[in-house]
A and B are shown apart, each in its own frame.
Chain A
Amino acid sequence: MISFKKNEKLEQASVLMETVAENMMRPISRYFDEHEHEIPWDYIQFMHTSQKAMGGAGSLTESAARKKEGPSISFQRLAITAEMLSWGDVGLWLCTPGGGLGAAAVNATGSEEQKARFLGRFQGDDPVFDAMALTEPHAGSAMPAEVRTTAVHDGDEWVLNGEKIFVTAGHKALVDTKGFVVIWATIDPEAGRAGVRPFVVEAGTPGCSVTKLEHKLGIHASDTASIVLQDCRIPFENILGSPEVTKKKTEKGFKGAMATFDATRPLVAASALGIARATLEMLKEMLAERGVEIRYGLPRSRMTNIEREIVDMEVMLHSTWLLTLKAMWLADERKPNTIEASMCKVKAGDVVVKITQRAVEIMGPLGYSREYLLEKWFRDAKINDLYEGTGQINRLIVARRILNYTRHELD
């Protein structure tokens, strides 16, 4: 069945999140942009309390908690939530407790026992953060293949050593709350990709410390941490996926781990599109206040330049949103979505950058002024073309899939 009808539960989620975005995010948006690394505790507490009340609905941990009930919509709800909260403020959205990328990795690759052990904490009394640590100082896009962080099996423990950078919410997960970070490390440096596994390192584990917070172009409300692991010992059971190294014959363990991205890439795409929609809506409002009306239905030869710009923006925004929804719908249907996940991520990264750049341009001096949020969204937008795989890495993934090439044939 082809249908574009938003079901009632998704509609409810939209309405609720819109209220949050309007009342809890927009009013503090500029403040936390101007005060980088200050923690928005009021927002965090509010989100923790309300998500708890909803039983975790709308978070990445939801699908683990409620698998059997009816047709699954949890990934679609996740996309709608991410889009709406990023419409509010993407930096603050990244400060939403209750399950982020680390939880997504546990959800995608963990056993039932691990899901219960690591994801249960999101329902506790205090807000908890999680994070995913993949990038290292020497390599980003080449990850996880070029992981240098090591995990050595010692008795009933793993011993981790290495350095991770660009860990979103790493400080909140390890220092500010009792959360966890999913660390990608190799259990056999000789085995290449086949030896790489995700491990869960919980807050308070000796030998794991946050050493630096980045100062960035945008998303100032979100901390981006460096993490050093020095003889960091974690329980053997904290490995996600098989502890066996299968060498060249199969890379099952590695590929299983990569499944994480099938959920997180559309999630980032949805978030990017939230910023893009916020920008487009504000642009149209500002134009309308100044007497510029957008007429639909005309051939291009009868349109003004601004009308052409706006129509192009609407087309690129909405087509990408539908592709993102489809990627999440496939995930809910338990169908393969790797290509759609990368496709929507590529296009969402492009679209949000284009729309925010053009909005600043169209509004002239007003667009450039910090009195309005357009300039902030222009800065916030760019991260979406970078994290969860740059636009180029995701193009590579799409190209390999449509050409039926291995990574050896196309790199």
Chain B
Amino acid sequence: MSRLTTLAKGVAVDTGALAAFNFRDMGGWHLLTNDWGQFLMMSTEDFNRFMSGKVESSEPLYRELETRGFIKARLDFPQLAANYVKKNSFQWFPGPSLHMIVVTLRCNQKCQYCHSSVVDPSRTDTDMDIATAKKTVDFIFSTPNPTICIEFQGGEPLLNWPVVKFITEYAQAKAKAGNRKLLMALVCNFTLMTEDKLDYLFDHHVSICTSLDGPAELHNKNRPFLGGGEAQQKVVHWLERIQERCAADEKKKYYLPGALMTTTRFSMDYGPEIVDLYVKLGLEQIFLRPLSPIGYAKRVWKDVGYEAEEFVKFYEKTLDYIIDLNVSGKSGIMERMALILLSKIVKGEDPGFMDLRSPAGAVLGCLAYNYNGEIFVSDEGRMVDHQGDPLFRVGDVSRSDWASVIDHPTTRACVSASTLDNQPMCHQCAFKPYCGVEPVFHYETQKSVFGQMPTSGWCVSHMGIFDVIFRKLRDPRARKVLDKWLERDQCRWQESDAVPAGMPEVVL
């Protein structure tokens, strides 16, 4: 599945007349894409005529090919360059926008797949202190991107609530003083949420996201409390409570909580039940995320993991179910991964997803800060460090400045490895304009930041998902639903853009 496809035997090709493009045999039809983010789905017969230079300029197909930059003699350079600018908008802002702060490694859950390398709640020595928090915020504000998004992570961040509050207020004061655009988000398991904390988060414009893996029997199996107990009921309670409060106040409509699900081996038979729960809770989106064999999850992979092909099957089956719900009018729930890819493919825009960019988000788009002030290329890089390998550590808030972090050899290696034009298979792949590779994932699974794409689980799962999405785009029934999702997503972003720099904003 992860292989590039071949040309049919005997197809004549006039390569001198062909513009730069990649292609993929989708089984009965072909997909063409180019560096400028344009795509065209065409019958195999038309594809073969195109390859041999036999599409006549009087044909409607010629016009289609021309407007999308596939006819070499008819390239509209300024327009293609403008498409490239829009598609790669993340490249034009210097420095990272996403800053993940691990305020503690402590956690009161013991998740089967935990990526985050947590420790027991008694280990207060892994809490970030105020002095480190201040230096972390100072470092973040020294990075050059005008927009800053601070995300609290853990461990369970609510276990170090005073530092969450300090960072929130200090960062907001700095944003106001420096006229920077600031967004703040808290990722927590809700088990320690209280009305007081919720009031504080609302008052300080901190958006909230949690983990919800599905029905109680699945969620509690994936994410048990330390010492036993029911975790899912707490999550459901607080999701409902926050929605209640948002519904009661128009100003809070952007604070509707988000939930993330992680797919384990146990999730495979639960696709519709997971979606039904999200619908029942009134959640607008579900993000069908694969599990990554990084950190602790790598050690327990044989118990909770699966083959990439299995995930793709799960993804397609569950997406079909979601689309059916939309078609029947029973729910308008959207799938987040599909939405991310559709923004790239159909709208030619970058939705800010760090994993699927070229080069990847590591340092250029995001940084992770450990409780002790160490700086990592990403949160996954921090997890590798927790397992005893400091490769992805690029600095320390006490000693490093931005110049040393961006110039760090690890930063350079990650950027080089995740630039798809440097990857022997990716640079010829039809999904290149929309895809990305993750150096930490490949270091963990293949012992190389570059990886080896023909045998990479990352490549198999992402190519599989792209195949699914392009098949849906060619299916008129599914396409109608997907177009509607894009319209709704557009509206949310447009409404959010009204918030001026220096004022607190929420993460959507």
Question: Do A and B interact?
Answer: no
